[in-house]
Chain A
Amino acid sequence: MSQTALLRAIGVEKRFGAVTAASALSLDVARGERVSLIGSNGAGKTTFVNMITGYLKPDAGSITLDGRDITRLTPRAITHLGVARSFQIPQLCAELSVLDNMLVASACDAGALSFWRPARRGTAIARGHELLARFGLEEHARRRVAELPGGVRKLLDIAMALTGSPKLLLLDEPTSGVAAEEKYPLMDRVMRALGQEHMAVLFVEHDMDIVTRYADRVVAFYSGRVIADGAPAATLDEPEVRRYVTGTLR
């Protein structure tokens, strides 16, 4: 394992009753790496993501970020250390405008909330517009989120996660719920927007074409274990991956 790993999980275990969600999980993610997590439902991808963000505590093992142990930290503390996530179903404030959603992200990122410092102040608005422009959402800035189509909401959800310039960005199924012909344009936009930032990206994805095209590295999960880890083409070609994940080997 290299010393430059941004995220390092060592021997992580998690059980829910009789179900093993993580078993001797060890994984390193380097700065700037684009890693895709694949696996069938119940393989342990989401559990792993939830342990990184602090919403689940591992039964054993440790997780470090930038050399700092985050295993027992609260989700909020981990967020402030630079771990952000987006959601499979976009988690937005539907009655607020797109820009206001960005300002909410910016206000939360600023640390202690202020009783008097205006939320709609120059620097926060500028940062919001800058991110929206990068995701091609500038034209929607003043629209209410409830009026937006699904694809735009997905992008906004990710843009909000980027507001605090995280070191590690977790994308939970960025293309789920998006029409097939919109998947590539959406991922192209996301990757272009991320391209300027040197952050590690961990994305959970079920579409193998997306995985092959956008990940530097693929980690395959099965029954709480990592069964393959490496370059996309090679990993997807492993017999265990073909049997348990992609279903191309029977």
Chain B
Amino acid sequence: MAPVSPGRTFAGGVLLIVVLIAAGALMPKWLTFLVTMAASHGLVSLGIVVLMRGGVVSFGQGMVFALGGYTAALLFGKLGVTDALLLALAGGVLAAAVALPFATLIARYRGIFFAMLTLALSMVLFGLLAKIDALGGSDGFNMGRPTLLGQTLADASVGYVMYGVTLGVSGALALAARIFFDSTRGLVSLAMRENELRVEYLGGSVRQAQAINFVIAGFIGGVGGALTVMSLGHIDPSFSYWTTSGEFVFVAILGGYQSVFAVFLASTVLEVVRSFSSLYFPNTWQLALGLFLLVVIRFVPRGLGSLWIDRHGHRRGRKEAA
């Protein structure tokens, strides 16, 4: 069976991003907004997938999501930084910088302990944010309209431009994630998931690799938070609340750890379910989500990505081409 040709996957990814951005011009406003949210939230879940490939799941990625969002909103409001790309980058950098000192501590833990520690960190941040009146307390605060490369954005086009920025940045990070997953470090991460002992005896450092994965996940999640707040125009502490983190885990499980595209597809599925459920049964939409997750775990336990990628990371259906 032929390995996935990295060049083809990469080219396919670039093509998909370009086509989606172009197609956005024809989409109704509600749909561009939905896809924007799916992409920016998908980044946070992509961070969880980075961790999942190393054998751990974070239940507190809401923390970096909020850190990125607050960073962008505060830089905009207090320091007058308005460029969307710069704000997205700043959100990622700050989230990674906060994740860094915790990374070495947290890299010692596995399984439920890792999950609970990350959850605890995110809830501490939630508590802090809700108590700081200068940040609007539990109501949060609004953020104005960003600019792009020195251009102010008109009422008519701001939605589409932010759609383009979000897809462009998410797409670039998705491609980078694919390269990372296929790298030597990426493969050793997958090995760690199954046998840490062997990786250590072969001369790899499991703890260092886990710490690095945590910082990478922080960066990607921070960028996702910044992109989200720029399109929403509002931020509040619920970004760091545990149910928000839970949704990111939901998407990571739905997408699976094999395909980067599947993560964004899963994120889109969640946004669609969220939109339509809140329209038709606003108070019980989590119920729909829960049932949906049960079905996924029962029938596609390895996630949507496993529908077209087999366990070896090879594309299905081309097994004869050795």
Contacts and interface: CB of A to CB of B under 8 A. Distances in A.
Interface residues of A, number: 37
Contacts of B203: 76, 79-80, 108-109, 164
Given A103-B187, A108-B188, A144-B311, A115 B180 contact: yes
Given A118-B183, A160-B202, A93 B188 contact: no
Interface string A79-109: 1100011010001111111001101110111
B300 interface: no
B191 A104 contact: yes
Interface of B: 1, 3, 6, 179-180, 182-188, 190-191, 193-195, 197-205, 209, 311-313, 322
B183 A95 contact: no
Contact of A113 (B6, B185, B311, B313): B185
A250 interface: no
Interface of A: 53, 75-76, 79-80, 84-85, 87, 91-97, 100-101, 103-105, 107-110, 113-120, 142, 144, 160, 163-164
Contacts of B311: 95, 144
Contact of A117 (B183, B193, B200, B202): B183
Given A96-B312, A103-B187, A118-B183, A108 B194 contact: no
7 contacts: A85-B201, A93-B194, A96-B312, A113-B185, A114-B183, A119-B187, A120-B187
What are the 3 tightest A-B residue pairs by CB atom distance, in nearest-first order? A107-B184, A119-B187, A108-B202
A118 B188 CA distance: 12
A79 B184 contact: no
Contacts of A120: 3, 6, 182, 187
A75 B183 contact: no
Given A104-B188, A115-B179, 12 more contacts: A75-B201, A76-B204, A95-B311, A103-B187, A104-B191, A108-B202, A113-B184, A116-B180, A119-B188, A120-B187, A144-B311, A160-B202
B175 to A, nearest CB: 11
Contacts of B202: 79, 84, 104-105, 108-109, 160, 163-164
Contacts of A118: 6, 182-184
Contact of A119 (B184, B204, B312): B184
A119 B201 contact: no
Contact of A108 (B186, B199, B312, B322): B199
Given A104-B188, A116-B183, A96 B200 contact: no
Contacts of B194: 93-96
Nearest to B6: A118
A96 B191 contact: yes
Given A104-B191, A119-B184, A113 B204 contact: yes
A92 B184 contact: no
A72 B73 CA distance: 51
B194 to A, nearest CB: 4
A115 B189 CA distance: 11
